[in-house]
Structures are given as structure tokens and as C-alpha cells.
């Protein structure tokens, strides 16, 4: 794409790559204690629930920081804002590797949790600064892929390292060092924006954050989209959090649970690669949101009732592909329908709802039956998906996405 007023630069892929890398490493730091909860509890001489809190603290930190961080991204630019987050992440990531007590690990984890919104709330800002209209959902999809891949690595690698004789503290130092390296690459290679805009004049302009927030909240489709985001992210977080408890009453083992959780994430990764480019090519957002949520339903039913190993695994992969694979389209649609709201603001709102969706995670426990089954809460999830489908059908594609 070349024009006297706007141009696409090959360097956009370098900026995207280093941004993807730090999003990958921050997710490793978030989830890396979860698969080794019991050994970690023994290592730090605390309870399993205290180790679980190391993951939960990220949600707690995100909620009050979301709006201030979005303001910083939109006011000072994503490079400065994400750079601050990258530095915080690097410092506390390295320090956690040297922390020998739970209290120090907790404080370092709080620091990492503070860094996370600086990265997550810039998901649509980076593509908006560097990519053309027809590539932005694809770029957000690749960022989502890196985020999910980080989660998968954080779930799969720590048990392997532990079996190989690498201590928990050494693991943390390894992860922290990789995190610091990703931060350094971002600070060196990332740039705020290219010499000329990547899109036609007018499409890159954004309002101030507070004005943009008012504008976003005045858009009916954005309110509908917030519920859709709550449903999709809440169901994914809930299933990934309670996967062992969900399938154990049907005779499945913890190893089966780990395989299932990984396949659901892998399905989401592949979906995030396949679906957003199709949406970009056809310049259709609603069509793919409908397809994703509609086809996720059979997978959720399979997760609820499957007693056959392969059917359960396929159901997890299928649900991840369609439910999470449409996530990048959802983020990009939010940015498009709320113009001139800054991308950091619209993205921050969606990310905030994603953190608030932890409510569904706790509802699942409250609805657990006496025999340990999660059937009722999983059907509640199916009901949320059906409501989301009704809401999506009331939405409209943004006009400029047809350009």
C-alpha cells in the first residue's frame, strides 16, 4: 500500500514481534506457579491456597490500574507506557528469581501484576499506529497468539523443569531473565510510530482519553460487546482454572486435565491465527463473532458430558478454537466502533471486563454439586454464549471496515 499521504513500512513486523515477545513472557510469569502448586507450597512452606493467590493477585492489581494505564498509553504513547511496564516487569522478574521466601515472592509478584496492564491495554494501539485497516485484526490476533502461547509455556514447562532437577527458585530466575531480555529488546527495537501514517487521513485520529471514554460508553454496540467479552473470557478462565475438578468426577486424571487445558489453549492459538485474517480479508467482524460463539456451543456441551478421552480432548480444542480464536476480532471491533475513542481506552475496557469475568470463576465453585460436578455452571456458560449470540445479532459492522 503506497500513497502520498500514507504508507506501510516493513519495520511494523519488528515492532509487532518485540511487543508479542513481552506479552508472551508476562503470561509465563503469571501462570508458572499454577502447575507446580503443591511443590511450590512445600518449597516456600505455605499452603496451596497461598500459592494460588500468586496468580489471583494479577486480577486484583489489574482492575484499579486499567483506566490510569489506558490514559497513559493514549496520552504519552504506547512506546513510553509499555516501556515503563517492560522495565517494571524486568526488575521484579529478576528479583523474584532471587527471592527465597514467600513474602518476597509475593511482593515481586505484585510488582509484576502492576506491569501487566501496561502491556495488555496496548493490544490494539500498536496495530493502529503501524498497520493498515485491513491488517489490524490479524495483528491483534498475533498478539493474542503470543499471550496464549505464554500461558501454554507457563503451564507445561515448570513441571518438566522440576522433574529435571531444576529447583523452583532457579526456574524463576530463568523465567525472570527471559522476561528481562524481552523487555530489553522492546526498549531497543520498538518505535512509537512510522514516519507517515499507515492508513488514510482521518482514520488514525483519536480523541482524548476522557472524551473517548464518554464516546465509547455512548455506543450501544460497545455495551453489548462488553457482555460478549465477559462471557467468552469468563468461560475460558473458568474452565482453565477448574479443569481438574470439572473432569475428575468422570474418572479423568490430573494428567488428563493438563492435556485438556493445553489443548484448549492450543485451539485458541490456532483460532487466533486462522480467523482474524479471514475477518480482515472480508472486512466482516459480526459474521465471525457469530460463527465463533455459535460453534463453541457443541464443544462446551462436550466438555460438560464427555466420558471418552478423545471426545473430551477434541471438545476442549474445538471450544478454544472458536471461543478464544475470535477474541482478536472482538478487540478490533471494539476499536473500530468507538472511533474516535483511543485504542488504549477501548482495549483497556475489554481487558478490564476480562479481569472482572473472574466473577464467573467463583460462581462455578458456588454452583458445584454435592458430587463435585460442575454441570450446572457449565450450562450457565452455555446460556451466556446463547445470550451473546442474540446480542451479536443486534450489532452492525463498522462502515469503514468495508473500505
**Band (401; pLDDT cuts 50, 70, 90):** very low
Q: Cell 493438563 maps to which residue?
A: 258
188 compared with 37, residue with greater pLDDT: 188
pLDDT beyond 60 at 206:
no
> Can you give the pLDDT at residue 402?
41
User: Mean pLDDT of all residues in the chain?
Assistant: 85
Q: What is the DSSP letter of 135?
A: G
Q: Does the pLDDT of residue 205 top 50, yes or no? A: no
Most confident of 35-49, 54-68, 315-329, 364-378: 315-329
CA 227 vs CA 130, 154, 230, 357, 386: distances in Å? 29, 28, 5, 10, 12
Q: Does pLDDT of 200 surpass 70?
A: no
Local confidence band at 186 (pLDDT 50, 70, 90 cut-offs): very high
The tens digit of pLDDT for each residue in 93-116 reads: 999 999 989 999 999 999 999 999
d(CA 126, CA 12): 9
Q: In this predicted structure, which of 50-54, 177-181, 264-268 has the lowest mean pLDDT?
A: 50-54
Q: Where in the chain is the domain with CATH 1.20.1250.20?
A: 1-205, 206-395
Among residues 303, 27, 21, 51, which one has the least CA distance to residue 156?
27
Strand partners, 7: 2
CA dihedral sign, ordered 82, 84, 87, 93: negative
The pTM for the full model equals 0.75
CB contact set of 313 (below 8 Å; sequence gap of 6+): 259, 260, 263
Q: 3-state DSSP helix/strand/coil percent for the chain, to nearest 5? A: 80, 0, 20
CATH topology of domain 1-205: Growth Hormone; Chain: A; (1.20.1250)
CATH architecture of 206-395: Up-down Bundle (1.20)
Query: For residue 391, what are the CA distances in angstroms to 15, 134, 181, 197, 227?
Result: 35, 25, 43, 34, 9
Q: What is the DSSP string of 321-374?
A: IIIITTHHHHHHHHHHHTTTS-HHHHHHHHHHHHHHTHHHHHHHHHT--TTS--
Residue in this structure with the C-alpha cell 455512548, named with its chain if needed? 218
Alpha-carbon span 161 to 167, nearest angstrom: 8
CA dihedral 238, 244, 246, 249 (to 10 degrees): -170
For range 16-32, the mean pLDDT: 93
Task: Report the percentage of the chain scoring pLDDT > 90.
Answer: 40
Amino acid at each position: 500500500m503506497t500513497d502520498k499521504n500514507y504508507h506501510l513500512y516493513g519495520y511494523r513486523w519488528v515492532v509487532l514481534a518485540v511487543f508479542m515477545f513481552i506479552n508472551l513472557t508476562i503470561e509465563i510469569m503469571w501462570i508458572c506457579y499454577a502447575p507446580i502448586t503443591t511443590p511450590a507450597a512445600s518449597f516456600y512452606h505455605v499452603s496451596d491456597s497461598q500459592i494460588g493467590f500468586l496468580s489471583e493477585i494479577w486480577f486484583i492489581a489489574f482492575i484499579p490500574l486499567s483506566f490510569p494505564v489506558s490514559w497513559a498509553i493514549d496520552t504519552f504513547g504506547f512506546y513510553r507506557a509499555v516501556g515503563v511496564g517492560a522495565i517494571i516487569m524486568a526488575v521484579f522478574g529478576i528479583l523474584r528469581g532471587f527471592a527465597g521466601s514467600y513474602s518476597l515472592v509475593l511482593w515481586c509478584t505484585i510488582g509484576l501484576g502492576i506491569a501487566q496492564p501496561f502491556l495488555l491495554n496496548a493490544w490494539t494501539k500498536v496495530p493502529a499506529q503501524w498497520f493498515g485497516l485491513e491488517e489490524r485484526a490479524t495483528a491483534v490476533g498475533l498478539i493474542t497468539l503470543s499471550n496464549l502461547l505464554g500461558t501454554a509455556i507457563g503451564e507445561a514447562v515448570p513441571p518438566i523443569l522440576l522433574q529435571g532437577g531444576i529447583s523452583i527458585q532457579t526456574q524463576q530466575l530463568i523465567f525472570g531473565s527471559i522476561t528481562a531480555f524481552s523487555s530489553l529488546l522492546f526498549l531497543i527495537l520498538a518505535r512509537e510510530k512510522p514516519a507517515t501514517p499507515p492508513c488514510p487521513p482521518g482514520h488514525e485520529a483519536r480523541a482524548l482519553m476522557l472524551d473517548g471514554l464518554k464516546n465509547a460508553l455512548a455506543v450501544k454496540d460497545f455495551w453489548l460487546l462488553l457482555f460478549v467479552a465477559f462471557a467468552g473470557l469468563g468461560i475460558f478462565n473458568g474452565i482453565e482454572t477448574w479443569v481438574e475438578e470439572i473432569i475428575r468426577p468422570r474418572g479423568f486424571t490430573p494428567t488428563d486435565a493438563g492435556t485438556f487445558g493445553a489443548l484448549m489453549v492450543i485451539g485458541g492459538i490456532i483460532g487466533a491465527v486462522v480467523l482474524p485474517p479471514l475477518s480482515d480479508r472480508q472486512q466482516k467482524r459480526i459474521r465471525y463473532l457469530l460463527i465463533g460463539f455459535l460453534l463453541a456451543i457443541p464443544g462446551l456441551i462436550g466438555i460438560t458430558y464427555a466420558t471418552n478421552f478423545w471426545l473430551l480432548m477434541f471438545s476442549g480444542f474445538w471450544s478454544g478454537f472458536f471461543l478464544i480464536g475470535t477474541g482478536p476480532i472482538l478487540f478490533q471491533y471494539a476499536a473500530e466502533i468507538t472511533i474516535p475513542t483511543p485504542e488504549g481506552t477501548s482495549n483497556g475496557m475489554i481487558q478490564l471486563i476480562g479481569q472482572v469475568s473472574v466473577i464467573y470463576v467463583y460462581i462455578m465453585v458456588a454452583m458445584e454439586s454435592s458430587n463435585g460436578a460442575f454441570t450446572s455452571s457449565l450450562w450457565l456458560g452455555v446460556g451466556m454464549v446463547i445470550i451473546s449470540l442474540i446480542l451479536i445479532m443486534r450489532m452492525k459492522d463498522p462502515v469503514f471496515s468495508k473500505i
